[in-house]
Structure 1
Amino acid sequence: MIQQIYPAPVHSYRYELNKDFQFAAAHYVPHEEAGACRRLHGHTYFVNVTVVGNELNNLGFLVNFQEIKNLIHKRFDHTLLNQDALFNEEDPNYFPTTEVVARTIWEVMQESLNKMANKPRCIQVFLRETPTSYVVYRPQEEDFQ
């Protein structure tokens, strides 16, 4: 993986964890105005997630790095994103665009983090789709409710 400098979200938590990983997936955007993206094609997505919190768990981790990777990689690697139940072809808010995939990664991550006793939060997902295109998703405070 190439070294990458990511935008740094501002926060007041004691700990900040960043995890880089990648997954390969295909998708298409099911809308006539999507141009070439309407056709089935694939990407090697590069992901960085930022997790913060004030308390460590009983192992001394904010979150185990491997758990973060497995949560996303196992679900999305070598798949057709359009076939995942988290996306659909009726509502543009659920088309597997880079923006929606970034938000969806956050949703999957935060759902898992909510089950942890130390209550970490994912405050940023950086998703690179191509060498020249990426999306940053940052949840708002009400998204954690």
Structure 2
Amino acid sequence: MYRITKEFHFSASHQLFGLREGHPCARLHGHNYIVVVELAAEALDETGFVRDYHDLADLKSYIDEHLDHRHLNEVLGDDCVTAERMARHFHDWCAARWPEVSAVRVSETPKTWAEYRP
């Protein structure tokens, strides 16, 4: 299996509801997010790619236009915008465009990652 990844960055705020009293994530806060999209294929296309990285420019446009420097609870219409749910959101968005998408990882901090892999 061949695998490629591409990384995207954006900054945004969110707030998590339903957490125990005093939990820091219950307050409005923000992150410098990193999204890594993984694509996989058993065979390469005629140019030797799993998929041309330039094809993924649509994801950068989506992030820049809809998510960067926004409040994710409002944009995504969810009271619980966790990294796990964002990984699923990005996976579904990407998989609708590129069938080779095999996983998406989302990082909120340099030490934390969430992944969705069907």
TM-score for the superposition, normalised by structure 1: 0.66
Question: In the alignment, which of 17, 25, 33 is matched to residue 30 of structure 1?
Answer: 17
Label 1:62 to 1:112 Cα distance change in 2 as closer, same or farther (>3 A).
same
Corresponding position: 1:68 with 2:59: yes
Where in structure 1 are there 5+ consecutive unaligned residues? 1-11, 90-94, 114-119, 140-145
Structure 1 stretches of 4+ moved >3 Å: 53-58
1:55 Cα deviation after fit? 6.1
1:69 Cα deviation after fit? 2.2
Equivalent residues of 1:127, 1:135 under 8 A apart:
yes
Q: Compare the two structures and name the one with the higher strand fraction.
A: 2
Q: Which amino acid aligns with 2:67?
A: F
Report the count of equivalent residues: 113
1:16 Cα deviation after fit? 3.0
> Superposition pairs for residues 50-129 of structure 1, below 5 Å?
50-53=38-41, 54=43, 56=45, 62-63=51-52, 64-84=55-75, 86-89=76-79, 95-113=80-98, 120-129=99-108
Percent identity for Structure 1 against Structure 2: 30
Corresponding position: 1:137 with 2:113: no
1:62 Cα deviation after fit? 1.7
TM-score for the superposition, normalised by structure 2: 0.79
Q: Which has the higher contact order (CA 8 A, sep 6+)?
A: 2
3-state SS of 2:97 partner: helix
